[in-house]
Structures are given as C-alpha cells and as structure tokens.
Homo-oligomer: A and B are copies of this chain.
Amino acid sequence: MYVTQPSQLFDPPCSSPVSPKISNKTALRMRAGKHLFHEGDEASRLYQIKDGVLRLTRLTKDGRRQVIAFGFPGDIVGFPSKGRHHTDCETLTNTSVVSYSVSMLESGDRDLDTHRMLLQAALLEISAMQDHFLMLGRKSAAEKVASFLCVLEERIGIRIGQFIKFHLPMSRADIADFLGLTTETISRTLTQLRKSKVIAIKNVQTVIILKPDALIGLAESTN
C-alpha cells in the first residue's frame, strides 16, 4: 500500500490493486509480529496477502527507519532484486498469504495467467511508488496524514451509517516512518483532525471518518 493520487484511487472501480480473484492455493498462516522475510534473504517466493497486514521496512546504517509500504489484502509483496529481498517484512496482525515461486514471475512457462498477473502487479507497484514519491517529497505533514487516512478508508474502511470506520493496524511510529514524520507530529495532526471534527478517534486504534470529503480536500491542499 502506497499513498497514491486520488485520480488513481478512483479511476478503476476495483478495491484491490491486482487480480480480483485471489488464488485458491493453500494459504500460509502466521501470527502477528513474525517476519515473513528479512533484507538480504534469498528471494524464492512472492506473497499475496489474503488476510492481515504486513509492514515492509528498510533501515539506514545509523538506525533511521523507513516504512516502505504496508501490505493489505490483495497486495503482492516480495519482489526480488538480484535474487534477494531488499526490505524486512513483518506481520502486524495475524496474517495469511499465498505464495508464488519467483520463477512464475520471471518466466512463468507453465501458468501464463499467473505470470501475467505477477508482472502487472510489479508494474502497478512501480506507478504506485511514483505517486508515493510525490507525497513524501512535496506534501505537508497535514496533507500526508490526511492522504494516508484516505487510502486506509479506501482499503479497509467499513461503512457505519454515513461515516466510515477502520482499525489502524500499525503504531504511530509506523505511520511516522511511513510518511517521513515523527510520532509526535502524527499525534498532533490526528488531534487537530479530531478537534476540527473531520475524524473521530474511538480508541487509539479505531478511526472514524466523519467528513470524508473534507479529508480528501485536506489531502490535496494545505489550506
């Protein structure tokens, strides 16, 4: 999951970015807080998330962390680079994934549909990351947080009357490291959104979007 432009969000009426039909292969189940792979691991398989949330991270030598992406159901993670994983990947919740051999992506001699699906996922990944650049490089803290909430709304929101509710599966620190901010700034920004009645925070991990349109507005301009 990346923070993409609304244009891309609303363009096609499909909620999951890749093939709507999630494979019927047997799923691998994992508890929260486990590593699916580490940076540097040999990458033999790709993973499509059936259920749960993953976090992809990368570190600098001196310990600063960047959350590269969150993985939600439908997302595919683990694209290799020179045969190796380039990020750590950890489960934030109990998760089930189905896996594909990297050779399915690279040649896919047997199953052309799967080959095509994995390739399209890789290409979609590239364009989603391009949008995310725009967000990291050019948006204010308020815009970043609003954009982030908009994407979560799209991906995991549940309609409650005229509002939209979702559970934040990640910590404030995770959000901060994803958006290039600090936990304090995340916290303050959420408080502001709460005080201006755009969102409500039921408990620390449950957000209710009260004014979806206002949130979209905030995601785009500083005013």
Chain A residues with CB under 8 Å of chain B are 5, 12, 56, 58, 60-62, 64-66, 68, 79-82, 86-87, 105-107, 116, 119, 122-127, 129-134, 136-138, 177-180, 220-221
Q: Are A180 and B136 in contact (CB under 8 A)?
A: yes
Given contacts A66-B138, A105-B119, contact A132 B133 (CB under 8 A): yes
- A133 in complex: contacting residue of B66, B79, B124, CB < 8 Å: B66
* Chain B residues whose CB sits within 8 angstroms of the CB of A126 once the complex forms: 79, 81, 86, 122, 125-126, 129
- Name 25 interchain pairs, CB-CB below 8 A, sorted by A: A5-B60, A58-B131, A58-B134, A61-B220, A62-B221, A64-B138, A66-B133, A66-B137, A79-B123, A81-B123, A81-B124, A81-B126, A81-B127, A82-B124, A87-B130, A105-B119, A106-B119, A107-B116, A122-B122, A126-B129, A129-B129, A129-B130, A129-B133, A136-B180, A137-B178
